[in-house]
Amino acid sequence: MYSINQLWTGVKNPELALSKLNGTINHWRVGSEYYPRGVDVFEEDWDNLVILDACRYDFFDEQVWFEGTTEKRLSRGSTSREFIRGNFTDRTAKDTVYVSANPWYLRLHDTIGGEVHDYMNLHSDEKRDAVGGLTTRPETVTKHALEANEAYPNKRIIFHYLQPHQPYLTDFGREIVDYQRDMMLSIKQSDADRAEIVKAYRENLDLVLDEVDTLIESLTGKTVITADHGELLGERERPIPVRRFGHPGGVYVDELLEVPWHVIDTGERKEIVAEEPVERSVSESDQEAVEQQLADLGYRV
């Protein structure tokens, strides 16, 4: 059942209501809270997995410049929440370290039963260092990623950046969109047209690719660069053909499911060792920071 506030939101924002209906229909069709036909990232062959947030395959393929080959895969979700559920639920990965600026793993950890050797939390206030604490700069993720790479030479490592996900960080992006906790609302309240939004998105992608380029120079072993999901930039959803920006849950269209799978294989491999998980307590302030970050980014948690 929907609350009065949710029904009123649907009246004021019919695109949002139709999008939620699409998500409900698609979740019913696949019989899951995520897209089960997407790639299981843990079953793939890699030593280092770099995850970009909200990165479309087609834009990545056009803009990537560094070594390697780019393939296309389907994600297990159209949102980070679905990606985490689809890949980490009941997963024991004692050979894996997860370095993440994306808060969804920590938010869902107690309910999905997933376990990694170490989870390095980049959600504290001092690490949310862009757009008034809404997001984390890619440079900050790279700094901590390099530290993890040094500390864990015998582990598979996942590095999860927050770009090209909005808010947009370049001068142009900040000028055209004043981020208001929801991509659709922000665009409605701006004068930006689709071409300008696409330009800002591309600039955000270039920013994070610059940092990934820096990171991979220091990595040993086989590296894969992928994304948790894609991004709608004015395209239509299905089955109800409403136009949207962003990445609504349960919307399984190409722009949201198709993600890059860029492989950099130098021939050198890590000697991976599984060990018991590092015990890290999650403080109340850490949990509050996660909840606040998700709320600030427009997610109903």
How confident is the model at residue 199, as a pLDDT? 97
Where does the pLDDT of residue 13 fall: very low under 50, low under 70, confident under 90, or very high at 90 and above? confident
Most confident range (mean pLDDT) of 7-21, 63-77, 118-132 is: 63-77
Give the pLDDT mean for 254-279.
Answer: 95
pLDDT of residue 274 exceeding 70, the answer is yes
Give the pLDDT mean for 72-89.
Answer: 98
How confident is the model at residue 7, as a pLDDT? 43
Pairing relationship of beta strands 258-264 and 69-74 according to DSSP bridges: antiparallel
In this prediction the pTM is: 0.92
How confident is the model at residue 190, as a pLDDT? 81
How confident is the model at residue 298, as a pLDDT? 62
- pLDDT tens column, 184-230: 677 777 888 999 999 999 999 999 999 999 999 999 999 999 999 99
What span, in angstroms and rounded, lies between the C-alpha atoms of 161 and 184? Answer: 22
CB-CB contact of 223 with 192 (8 Å): no
How confident is the model at residue 286, as a pLDDT? 65
* pLDDT over 70 percentage in the chain: 87
Dig out the tokens for 117 from the structure. Answer: 């050797």
Mean pLDDT of the chain: 89
pLDDT of residue 136 exceeding 70, the answer is yes
Q: What count of other Cβ atoms lies within 10 Å of the Cβ of residue 12?
A: 9
Cα–Cα distance list, 99 to 123, 144, 146, 232, 245 (Å): 11, 8, 10, 26, 28
How confident is the model at residue 187, as a pLDDT? 75
Q: What is the DSSP string of the chain?
A: ---HHHHHHHHH-HHHHHHHHHHHHHHHHHTSSS-TTS--GGGS--SEEEEEES--HHHHHHH--SSSEEEEEE-S-SSHHHHHHHHHTT-EEEEEEEEES-THHHHHHHHH--EEEEEEE--SGGG--BTTTTB--HHHHHHHHHHHHHH-TTSEEEEEEEEESSSP-SHHHHHH----SSHHHHHHTS---HHHHHHHHHHHHHHHHHHHHHHHTT--S-EEEEES---EEEEE-SSS--EEEE--TT---HHHHEEEEEEE--S--------PPP-----HHHHHHHHHHHHHTT---
pLDDT of residue 4 exceeding 50, the answer is no
248 upstream amide cis, omega within 30 of 0: no
CATH class of this structure's domain 4-296: alpha beta
Residue 225: is it exposed, middle or buried by C-beta count within 10 angstroms (0-12/13-18/19+)? buried
What span, in angstroms and rounded, lies between the C-alpha atoms of 138 and 207? Answer: 7
What span, in angstroms and rounded, lies between the C-alpha atoms of 17 and 13? Answer: 7
